[in-house]
Amino acid sequence: MVPTLSGNILNEMSVLISIHPENPQERYVKQVIQILHSGGVIAYPTDSGYALGCAVGNKNGLEQIRRIRKLDKHHHFTLMIRDLSHVGEYAKLDNTSFRLMKKILPGAYTFILEGTRGVPNRLLHSKRKTIGLRISHHKVVQAILDGLNEPLMSVSLILGDTEFYNAWDVEDSVGNSVEIVIDAGHCPSEPTTVIDLSGEHAQVVRLGAGSVEFLN
């Protein structure tokens, strides 16, 4: 049974919420969105392991995530977006890059692109002014983004050399540092493929779950 969220919810211990991976329950998704709107940080499953997320405008949430991950100012943050319909609000891309992304998304890819003025500077790479973009096919992620109606500021949940693929390990490791841990079953254990589209040619930064045969 999931506790009802009320009052000063961000001062309570993290809540572990079980959400169906194929048919996310609306009432539980709304609780997650309530936390995000209240300035909270969530640990949530994706199609390539767990991630940490908060609302884009949440400065305190961003710093909270930096502390959990021990990140410096050069780390690439990622915007988890619902689809490509508003991608131009966050990233500069030409027609070739857009067609490439449209061909393979949603999926286990992270694309690095030059950010637009609509992206807060604190989310951009300090020197390159780039931002990561993801569109996950995980149905829980899609349900959250549908209700939130804006991107999630996101980073992969990695502590040292440890990545996370189930909610219980996440709860044990960061349960006191986030407001909600979402359990939707075991996550795929391979990371995203990272492709840099900020330059003249597409560059594979990390080969992961997503195939890059389309680049040949």
| Domain CATH number, residue 81 | 3.90.870.10
178 contact partners, CB below 8 Å, separation of at least 6: 14, 40, 41, 42, 43, 52, 64, 68
pLDDT confidence of residue 159: 94
- On whether residue 46 sits in a domain, the answer given is yes
Q: Give tens-digit pLDDT for 5-18.
A: 433 445 456 789 99
pLDDT confidence of residue 77: 87
- On whether residue 2 sits in a domain, the answer given is no
User: Residue 26 pLDDT > 90, yes or no?
Assistant: yes
pLDDT confidence of residue 12: 55
pTM score: 0.90
- On whether residue 37 sits in a domain, the answer given is yes
Q: Give tens-digit pLDDT for 29-62.
A: 999 999 999 999 999 999 999 999 999 999 999 9
Q: Give tens-digit pLDDT for 102-134.
A: 999 999 999 999 999 888 888 888 788 899 999
- On whether residue 177 sits in a domain, the answer given is yes
Please tell me the distance from the alpha carbon of residue 62 to that of residue 198, in angstroms, as a whole number.
24
CB 31 within 8 A of CB 25: no
User: Residue 74 pLDDT > 50, yes or no?
Assistant: yes
Q: How confident is the model at residue 64 (pLDDT cuts 50, 70, 90)?
A: very high
CB 182 within 8 A of CB 19: yes
* Domain extent for 123: 10-215
- On whether residue 5 sits in a domain, the answer given is no
Taking alpha carbons only, the member of 42, 30, 25 closest to residue 6 is 30
Which position has the token pair 């449209």? Answer: 102
Strand-pair category, 158-159 with 162-163 = antiparallel
- On whether residue 3 sits in a domain, the answer given is no
- On whether residue 41 sits in a domain, the answer given is yes
Domain count across the chain = 1
Q: How confident is the model at residue 166 (pLDDT cuts 50, 70, 90)?
A: very high
pLDDT confidence of residue 181: 97
- On whether residue 129 sits in a domain, the answer given is yes
23 contact partners, CB below 8 Å, separation of at least 6: 139
